[in-house]
C-alpha cells in the first residue's frame, strides 16, 4: 500500500463523515406538510428558501456525494491495477 492509497482512503473517510454530518443537519421533508395543508407555503419566507441554510446544506450534500462517488471509483480503479 503506497502513500497515494493511504491518502485516498483518508479522503474517503473524511468525505463520508461530511456527508453524514450534512444529512443529519438537514430538517426532515415531512416538516413542510403542515404548511402545505394550511396554506402556509405561500408566505414571504418561502420565496427566499434558496438563500436559507437548508438550501445551502442540500446543495453541498449533492456536491460532497458526487465527490465521494468519484473518490470511491478512483480507489477501486487503483485497487484493481495493483
36 part of a folded domain: no
What the block records as the C-alpha cell of 11 is 479522503
State the average pLDDT for the chain.
82
- Contact present, 78 and 40 (Cβ < 8 Å): no
43 part of a folded domain: no
What the block records as the C-alpha cell of 7 is 491518502
pTM beyond 0.85: no
15 part of a folded domain: yes
Q: What are the residues whose beta carbons fall under 8 Å from the beta carbon of 11, sequence distance 6 or more?
A: 71
Q: How many Cβ atoms from other residues are within 10 Å of residue 22's Cβ?
A: 19
| DSSP 3-state of 21 | helix
Into how many domains does the chain fold?
1
Q: Tell me: pLDDT of 71 over 90.
A: yes
Domain that holds residue 13: 3-26+48-81
User: Residues 10-44: pLDDT tens digits?
Assistant: 999 999 999 999 999 888 766 555 555 555 555 55
Average pLDDT over residues 36-55: 63
H or E element at residue 74: helix 53-81
Amino acid at each position: 500500500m503506497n502513500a497515494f492509497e493511504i491518502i485516498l482512503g483518508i479522503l474517503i473517510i473524511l468525505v463520508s463523515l461530511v456527508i453524514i454530518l450534512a444529512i443529519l443537519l438537514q430538517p426532515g421533508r415531512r416538516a413542510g406538510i403542515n404548511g402545505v395543508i394550511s396554506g402556509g407555503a405561500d408566505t414571504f419566507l418561502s420565496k427566499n428558501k434558496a438563500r436559507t441554510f437548508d438550501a445551502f446544506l442540500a446543495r453541498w450534500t449533492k456536491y460532497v456525494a458526487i465527490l465521494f462517488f468519484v473518490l470511491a471509483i478512483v480507489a477501486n480503479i487503483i485497487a484493481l491495477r495493483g
